[in-house]
Amino acid sequence: MSAYTVSCENNILKVGNTGDFSVFRTFDCGQCFRFEPVPNSSYKCEFSGVAAGRKVSFAQNEPGEIFIITDKKADAADFGLWARYLSLDTDYDLINDAILENIPRGADREITKKAIDASRGIRILRQDRWEALCSFIVSQNNNIPRIKKIISSLCEKYGEDIGGAYDFPSAESLFAAGEDAIFSLRTGFRAKYIYDAARAVSGDSDFLEKVARCENYADAERILTSVKGVGPKVAACTLLFGFSRLDAFPVDVWIKRVMEKRYSPNFDFRFFGKNAGVAQQYLFYFERYLGGGQAE
């Protein structure tokens, strides 16, 4: 992984030497719910939203460089924050090689390689832990437009105004609001689960840190699933996108489909190794958005 080049102009950080990093694929693969494509952008691709308590856009014209447009004058010192959020500090070429390493040669390895090649440029965002937990509770039995609408309502009602946008509401604010108020935002059956998650996190300042400190995946999953409504899939999404546990492998209908349709019956996702979660994102994108390679 080569060193990045960083330059600042007004409120824009220009980052060069970013390899195959893709703004479009990273923000269009269903892993976060607070970013939207910018219509009529001056860039070929731009997604705008809120992260780390800041309004921010990530844009791209050509492979190899990205533009980070923030809500204040750009400072090269900010690069560390956004590099971590975008996983620019991680060598995905090494990860891609490691994913293939333990898969026996044959059709299973070939379909994995095809998914990697078709999805290159996706990075696992390092999202806020509480936001990830709450967001993926909202995602249960839901579609992406409705998930985004619910999260937007929660932010507008209970998040901090950061100047034309709203930060994600704290666990304390949602717990104080109460289950009925959360339900009134059309969260449905998820209201009681959001409320219980807010109770757990606001009532124990060390709750999320306990999860982060777990070396064993099963221990981290056990803590998260102590929250009402959090099962293995929501826990896996939370661990992958909120705790950077790349060994987490969320299984939804798309992953079930690709595993049943394209892999041999005896294939185990554990062949993907410690980067199974990255492989999961490639397979999800490959199957859902590219039709398993049938269309680009």
Please state which CATH number belongs to domain 5-85: 3.30.310.260
Confidence of residue 72 (pLDDT cuts 50, 70, 90): confident
Fold of 129-242: Endonuclease III; domain 1 (1.10.340)
137 pLDDT more than 60: yes
Task: Give the residue among 289, 232, 236 at the shortest CA–CA distance from 258.
Answer: 289
Percentage of the chain exceeding pLDDT 70: 98
Per-residue pLDDT tens over the stretch 243-279: 999 999 999 988 999 999 999 998 999 999 999 999 9
Q: Can you give the pLDDT at residue 292?
A: 59
Q: Can you give the pLDDT at residue 294?
A: 46
How far apart, in whole angstroms, are the C-alpha atoms of residue 206 and residue 179? Answer: 23
Per-residue pLDDT tens over the stretch 6-29: 999 999 999 999 999 999 999 998
SS3 for 16?
Answer: strand
CB of 107 closer than 8 Å to CB of 287: no
Per-residue pLDDT tens over the stretch 163-204: 889 999 999 999 999 999 999 999 999 999 999 999 999 999
SS3 for 37?
Answer: strand
Confidence of residue 295 (pLDDT cuts 50, 70, 90): very low
User: Cβ–Cβ contacts within 10 Å for residue 62, how many?
Assistant: 7
2 pLDDT more than 70: no
Domain with CATH 1.10.340.30 in the chain: 129-242
Q: Own/partner pairs for 217-220, CB < 8 Å, 24+ apart?
A: 217/245, 217/247, 217/248, 220/245
Task: Give the residue among 242, 227, 232 at the shortest CA–CA distance from 269.
Answer: 232
SS3 for 48?
Answer: strand
Catalytic residues: 233
How far apart, in whole angstroms, are the C-alpha atoms of residue 54 and residue 166? Answer: 9
- The model carries a pTM of 0.94
Domain with CATH 3.30.310.260 in the chain: 5-85
Confidence of residue 152 (pLDDT cuts 50, 70, 90): very high
Q: Can you give the pLDDT at residue 53?
A: 93
- Maximum distance among all Cα pairs of the chain, rounded to whole angstroms: 55
What tokens were used for 157?
Answer: 């009602």
